[in-house]
A = this chain, B = another copy of it.
């Protein structure tokens, strides 16, 4: 999908923005940049701001008109602070990405068009677009830097592309099972079983009795809250082992203390 996305910048006036746009594109796996009658060069500043996305800058196509840039495109979306004059189909960035994900895989070119730093796209340019996309901004401060707008759109395109990949892979099983414990990373230890968690909580309760912190006849608020806490955390086996190691050490202390106190009171009674 991402191979069929074009980023089109119209009359850009700052070289740095072209460079920053190239970097933002490359971060998201998008590589095709088209410059419409640019008012700035791909100079040292552009290369520097691109941070090694210079391949995108070198391959960028430069054309004279927006018409030329989008000639081969099946879907053209223009960025706009607001749709003006005539109401035009308006999408959120997410809807725009969903639409692109529908058409781009079928060999349709999709152009995302970004206007001038100072004034955006003209009405004529906006009317060349199938739809407009509006990045939801604070109404009192609505003008995004063009490279930031490109970042947001490319980010949504990438998410949509990843969703497509996932959907394509759904035939293979065990997808969810590979996701570890729902923490979004490969976890290093297995989740503790319910029995292991119970073992920990019983160990904790016994230890608290051993050190005279908990009266076994008292209401169990403490242990109820501890159960809620540790269940909620989704503990792994290593965490259980570490906690139990600590509790065992506490119990050894308690036993040593009781032994000495016993010896003492034995001594006293002699």
Q: Report whether A159 and B136 are in contact in the complex, using a CB–CB cutoff of 8 Å.
A: yes
Q: Report whether A136 and B162 are in contact in the complex, using a CB–CB cutoff of 8 Å.
A: yes
Question: A152: CB under 8 A from chain B?
Answer: yes
- A212–B246 Cα distance when bound, in Å, is 10
Taking CB atoms, residues of chain B closer than 8 Å to A64 are none
Question: A128: CB under 8 A from chain B?
Answer: no
- With A213-B249, A249-B212, A250-B253 in contact, is A187–B87 under 8 Å at CB? yes
Question: A59: CB under 8 A from chain B?
Answer: no
- With A183-B90, A184-B90, A257-B256 in contact, is A141–B249 under 8 Å at CB? no
- A257–B86 Cα distance when bound, in Å, is 36
Q: How far is the CB of A132 from chain B (nearest CB, A)?
A: 8
Q: How far is the CB of A222 from chain B (nearest CB, A)?
A: 6
Question: A151: CB under 8 A from chain B?
Answer: yes
Q: Report whether B138 and A95 are in contact in the complex, using a CB–CB cutoff of 8 Å.
A: no
User: What are the interface flags for A137-178 relative to B under an 8 Å C-beta threshold, 1 for contact and 0 otherwise?
Assistant: 110011111011001100100110010000000000000000
Partner of A142, one of B24, B27, B242: B27
| Residue of B whose beta carbon sits closest to that of A261 | B260
Q: Report whether B242 and A222 are in contact in the complex, using a CB–CB cutoff of 8 Å.
A: yes
The stretch from A5-13, A108-116, A227-235 touching chain B is: A227-235
| Residue of B whose beta carbon sits closest to that of A162 | B136
Q: How far is the CB of A42 from chain B (nearest CB, A)?
A: 18
- With A208-B246, A213-B249, A253-B250 in contact, is A138–B27 under 8 Å at CB? yes
Partner of A28, one of B138, B188, B234: B138
- A86–B226 Cα distance when bound, in Å, is 24
Q: Report whether B208 and A145 are in contact in the complex, using a CB–CB cutoff of 8 Å.
A: no
Q: Report whether B253 and A211 are in contact in the complex, using a CB–CB cutoff of 8 Å.
A: yes
| Partner-B contacts on A (CB < 8 A) | 20, 23-24, 26-29, 51-53, 83, 86-92, 94-95, 131, 134-138, 141-145, 147-148, 151-152, 155, 158-159, 162, 180, 183-188, 208, 211-213, 222, 225-226, 229-230, 232-235, 238-239, 242, 245-246, 249-250, 252-254, 256-257, 260-261, 264
